[in-house]
Amino acid sequence: PFAALRPQKPDALLALIAMHRADSRLDKIDVGVGVYRDEAGLTPVMQAVKAAEGRLHAEQQSKSYLGAEGDVRFAELLMKLVFGEGQSDARRFGLQTPGGTGALRLGAQLLARAAPSSRVWLSEPTWPNHAPIFAEAGLATRLHPYFDVESRGIAFDAMLEALQQSRAGDVLLLHGCCHNPTGTQFTLEQWEALAALCNERDIVPFVDLAYQGLGNGITADGEGAHRLLDAVPTALVAYSCDKNFALYRDRVGALFVQTPTSDLGEVTRANALALARSLWSMPPDHGAAVVRTILDDGELRLSWGDELDRMRDRLNKMRVLLATAHPALTSVASQRGLFSLLPIAPSAVPAIRQTHGIYMPADGRINIAGLNEINLPRFVEGLLPHLEK
Ligand code: PMP
């Protein structure tokens, strides 16, 4: 059967990693790959994670199967971060998934089973994996305007206007915070307007929360989603712990679903579990057990929170430094998370790479965490002649 398959475009980011690795210049700068890095350019295991892994190693008595829902206490603890403290609404349930990607895919399969003709609205631009995840599940996707090239902020009015084309039952994917790739975030007023739009037009919001804590802090980064989720009857949330716990390769995530009634919630949960069984049977345990151990322990939770605060402070400090380098970069300071989309032409990117050893994707999306106080001046020097404003 494989003769029918078509060649696939190579992954541009992986190609960039390979080029960066092959570059022998000592002062090369990698702002491509999407992981957090410290001042020394490393992506370390967080201290609370190391401590939790030590405890698990000493105390875990069995690795027997858990079930398609994964670690139940993990999902329960995470639910408080997603929906707000004191929220144990019977209309809401959570299942552990392999990363945020697994949560998105499980949500997509659930939607495809429940409402195959619904269309999923994605921001233009968005994380490149969003469209394939929904398309592979059999759902049609539509793009709505999102990024305003002039202000380098959100084109909110244009977004709302495009969504007037939505049909009842359509799905609206929203980045909970730290939009990838633009670094933009909705204000609380905009979240409220989105909630009103979802209610008016009978749209189901699907919140992708992959960077909670890396914008303005755990609580602040969840606030917009809390307001939306409190205001609508039906919603999905794909959560990733891979960035805020730096557990990337351990694949830690959860899907949360909110339904109008608890009866509907029970049927929906049973369907989600059946789909999970056919996708991965059960999610991998280790990373979720680590997160559960941290969130369930006062001391580890504090340690995790402190380290996450330091990571976020470093990102935001680099944002301020970069923003002051040139007027065309001003908006970088008000953006949040790992990414920013810089105003440079794709055609300038290879020259910047060859001349200065600066590695970034052609769309100008940079990972702020690739910068530090030593390399930032060189980064700016390489970039400035190519800025479009
Ligand atoms: N959503 C967004 C917006 C992301 O940027 C990412 C990761 N790059 C994910 C989801 C998926 O995260 P995970 O690695 O946990 O699958």
Domains of the chain: 2-45+312-386 (3.90.1150.10), 65-296 (3.40.640.10)
Given a cut of 80, whether residue 85 has pLDDT beyond it is: no
How do residues 91-103 score in pLDDT, each as one tens digit?
899 999 999 999 9
Q: Locate the ligand 1 atom nearest the alpha carbon of residue 253 and give its number.
A: 15
Enter the DSSP assignment of 338. S
Percent residues over pLDDT 90 in the chain: 94
pLDDT at 251: 98
Question: Is 304 a residue of the active site?
Answer: no
Mean pLDDT of the region 248-265: 96
- Which one from 243, 250, 285, 289 is the annotated catalytic residue? 243
Given a cut of 80, whether residue 288 has pLDDT beyond it is: yes
Enter the DSSP assignment of 120. E
Report the candidate in 149, 236, 231 with the shortest Cα–Cα distance to residue 184. 149
Q: Locate the ligand 1 atom nearest the alpha carbon of residue 101 and give its number.
A: 16
Mean pLDDT of the region 317-335: 96
d(C-alpha 307, C-alpha 245), whole Å = 9
- Which one from 210, 238, 254, 369 is the annotated catalytic residue? 210
Q: Which residue has the tokens 């490393």?
A: 42
Mean pLDDT of the region 92-119: 98
d(C-alpha 370, C-alpha 368), whole Å = 5
From the CA of 210, how far away is ligand 1's center (Å)?
6
Probe residue for ligand 1, chosen from 33, 35, 240 as the CB with the greatest number of ligand atoms within 8 Å? 240
pLDDT at 10: 86
Determine if ligand 1 sits within 6 Å of the CB of residue 208. yes
Alpha carbon of residue 375 to chain centroid: 26
Question: Is 121 a residue of the active site?
Answer: no
Given a cut of 70, whether residue 86 has pLDDT beyond it is: no
From the CA of 224, how far away is ligand 1's center (Å)?
19
Q: Which residue has the tokens 């410290």?
A: 38
Q: What mean pLDDT is reported for the chain?
A: 96
Say if residues 330 and 354 touch (Cβ distance below 8 Å). no
Say if residues 386 and 352 touch (Cβ distance below 8 Å). yes
Q: Locate the ligand 1 atom nearest the alpha carbon of residue 252 and give its number.
A: 15
Closest CA to ligand 1's atom 1: 210
d(C-alpha 309, C-alpha 36), whole Å = 13
Q: Could you tell me the pLDDT band of residue 360, with boundaries at 50, 70 and 90?
A: very high
- Which one from 30, 71, 170, 208 is the annotated catalytic residue? 208
How do residues 118-173 score in pLDDT, each as one tens digit?
999 999 999 999 999 999 999 999 999 999 999 999 999 999 999 999 999 999 99
pLDDT at 89: 79
From the CA of 59, how far away is ligand 1's center (Å)?
31
Closest CA to ligand 1's atom 9: 100
Given a cut of 80, whether residue 87 has pLDDT beyond it is: no
Q: Could you tell me the pLDDT band of residue 388, with boundaries at 50, 70 and 90?
A: confident
* pTM of structure: 0.97
Determine if ligand 1 sits within 6 Å of the CB of residue 98. no
Q: Which residues pair with 154 in a beta bridge?
A: 147
How do residues 217-228 score in pLDDT, each as one tens digit?
999 999 999 999
pLDDT at 31: 96
- Which one from 127, 221, 238, 304 is the annotated catalytic residue? 127
Q: Locate the ligand 1 atom nearest the alpha carbon of residue 251 and give its number.
A: 15
Say if residues 239 and 96 touch (Cβ distance below 8 Å). no
Question: Is 50 a residue of the active site?
Answer: no
Given a cut of 80, whether residue 88 has pLDDT beyond it is: no
The residue with greater pLDDT, 295 or 87, is: 295
End-to-end CA distance of the chain: 51
Given a cut of 70, whether residue 246 has pLDDT beyond it is: yes
